[in-house]
Amino acid sequence: LETEFSKTLSDLVESVLVIHHSIPIFLSSLTLDLFKRQTASFAPSTIMEV
């Protein structure tokens, strides 16, 4: 399936799956990429202090 998100993964697929043939490295890299995208959307001013 081609989505806006999957279009952003071409470099990751090329570098990890095509060159290194490693699904575990791909999944790790994908997890890190998603984490960076998720945490980058939170600005310090939007985090509430308890």
Number of domains in the chain: 1
**Distance set, CA 39 to CA 11, 12, 34, 46, 49 (Å):** 21, 19, 9, 11, 17
pLDDT at 25: 93
Please name the residues in contact with 29: beta carbons below 8 A apart, sequence gap of 6 or more. Answer: 12, 16
Task: Give the pTM.
Answer: 0.65
Kindly report, residue by residue over 1-50, the tens digit of the pLDDT: 789 988 888 888 898 999 989 999 999 999 999 999 888 766 565 555 65
| Within a domain: 49 | no
Identify the domain containing residue 35 by its residue range: 4-42
Note whether residue 11 is domain-resident.
yes
Positive or negative CA dihedral for 37, 40, 20, 14? Answer: positive
Provide the CATH number for the domain around residue 17.
Answer: 3.30.457.60
Q: Is residue 50, in this structure, part of any structural domain at all?
A: no
